[in-house]
Amino acid sequence: MTERPDRDTTATPGGGATARRGGTTAGPVIEVRDLWKSFGDQEVLRGINLTVLDGETMVVLGPSGCGKSVLLKHVIGLMKPDRGSILVEGNELTGLDGRELKDLRMRFGMVFQGAALFDSMTVGENVGLPLKEHCGIEGDELADLVEGKLGMVGLAGASHLQPSELSGGMKKRVALARAIALDPDIVLYDEPTTGLDPIMAEQINQLIRALQRKIHATSIVVTHDLHSAKFTGDKIALMHEGRIEFVGTMDDLRNSDNEAVRIFIARGYASDHRTAWESRGERQ
Ligand SMILES: Nc1ncnc2c1ncn2[C@@H]1O[C@H](COP(=O)(O)OP(=O)(O)O)[C@@H](O)[C@H]1O
Ligand SMILES: [Mg+2]
């Protein structure tokens, strides 16, 4: 059972997500509506609203501790909200449990903060795990699929390595390969460049961009790094005090007079090596 019935296998190389769906205007794939979540007395999500369109990459920016990972965990069904709604292609996710939630989750790829590889498994076993567990693929077929995914992240031939033999950047690549193992429609990235040196961070940004072109997934990239946001995002959402304060392009963000936006930029919530982000000219 390697084929997934919901998958459109007619997609052609270079055809974007919109083309895949017959040239119609991109509709919403993820809709978060008035989402609330508290831990004890601490209100972390206070009415989040966010819409991500088909094939789009939405960056969620915000300072450390503002609730970005909590938001992603809700979108993938790992946490339940106190109230509010999350629609994935029109299907309500918040009420799902067991088998239904598992089926829906198979459409997501998630790159967890810090890569989260299994240290006792080889690179190939890490990447192949979802294919083995969810699709029962084994043997040469599994090895071929794993090699294909590793090739997509620039790690062809690395299948036999142990995670302990990898640099931080390579671990993130393996995490990306594992996230796309099941050909997801939606990929969620939690702080994909955090903890990497500037060169590796740049390579991961470029890889994310290249993967988006290749697999045409709808994506959410969570980060506190303005440079990464600028490089990977079609749109930027700024999270502030438990709400989405602003959504727009990077240029919109730069020109916004929204107070939360100005404060975020002024405080320089770029990664350490990118504090001069506004003076740089990439992707303009
Ligand atoms: N499972 C949990 N139990 C209690 N508090 C949590 C839990 N997960 C996150 N928090 C709190 O929610 C806030 C937001 O966390 P998080 O989403 O991880 O922030 P970030 O924006 O850095 O990803 C933090 O204050 C954190 O301590
Ligand atoms: Mg986080």
Nearest atom within ligand 1 for CA of residue 79 = 1
Dump pLDDT digits (tens) for 90-120.
Answer: 999 998 888 899 888 889 999 998 878 999 9
Q: How far apart are CA 246 and CA 60, in angstroms?
A: 10
User: For residue 255, which of 276, 227, 271, 236 has the smallest C-alpha distance?
Assistant: 236
User: For residue 271, which of 206, 224, 209, 221 has the smallest C-alpha distance?
Assistant: 224
Residue 273: per-residue pLDDT: 40
**Cβ-based neighbours of 260, under 8 Å, separated by 6 or more:** 238, 240, 241, 245, 246
Residue 200: per-residue pLDDT: 87
Inside any domain, residue 2 = no
Looking up residue 196, the CATH number of its domain turns out to be 3.40.50.300
Residue 24: per-residue pLDDT: 58
Inside any domain, residue 72 = yes
Residue 268: per-residue pLDDT: 65
Nearest atom within ligand 1 for CA of residue 191 = 23
Inside any domain, residue 199 = yes
- Ligand 1 cavity residues, CB under 6 Å: 39, 44, 62, 64-70
Which residue from 59, 70, 74, 79 has its CB within 8 A of the most atoms of ligand 1, so it is best to mutate?
70
Dump pLDDT digits (tens) for 73-91.
Answer: 999 999 999 999 999 999 9
Question: If you ran DSSP here, which 8-state letter would residue 3 be given?
Answer: -
Q: How far apart are CA 58 and CA 247, in angstroms?
A: 9
> What global pTM score does this model have?
0.85
Count of domains forming the chain: 1
Inside any domain, residue 3 = no
Q: How far apart are CA 103 and CA 237, in angstroms?
A: 28
Inside any domain, residue 248 = yes
Q: How confident is the model at residue 33 (pLDDT cuts 50, 70, 90)?
A: very high
**Cβ-based neighbours of 47, under 8 Å, separated by 6 or more:** 34, 35, 36, 84, 242, 243
Which residue from 42, 44, 264 has its CB within 8 A of the most atoms of ligand 1, so it is best to mutate?
44
Dump pLDDT digits (tens) for 249-275.
Answer: 999 999 999 999 998 888 765 443 443
Nearest atom within ligand 1 for CA of residue 67 = 17
Inside any domain, residue 12 = no
Inside any domain, residue 77 = yes
Plot region of 94 (φ>0 → left; ψ -120 to 50 → alpha; else → beta):
alpha
Inside any domain, residue 4 = no
**Cβ-based neighbours of 254, under 8 Å, separated by 6 or more:** 265, 278
Could you tell me the residue range of the domain that residue 90 belongs to?
A: 27-277
**Burial class, 277, CB count within 10 angstroms (exposed 0-12 / middle 13-18 / buried 19+):** buried
Q: Which residue's CA is the closest to the ligand 1 atom numbered 9? A: 70
Distance from the alpha carbon of residue 259 to the mean position of ligand 1, in angstroms? 24
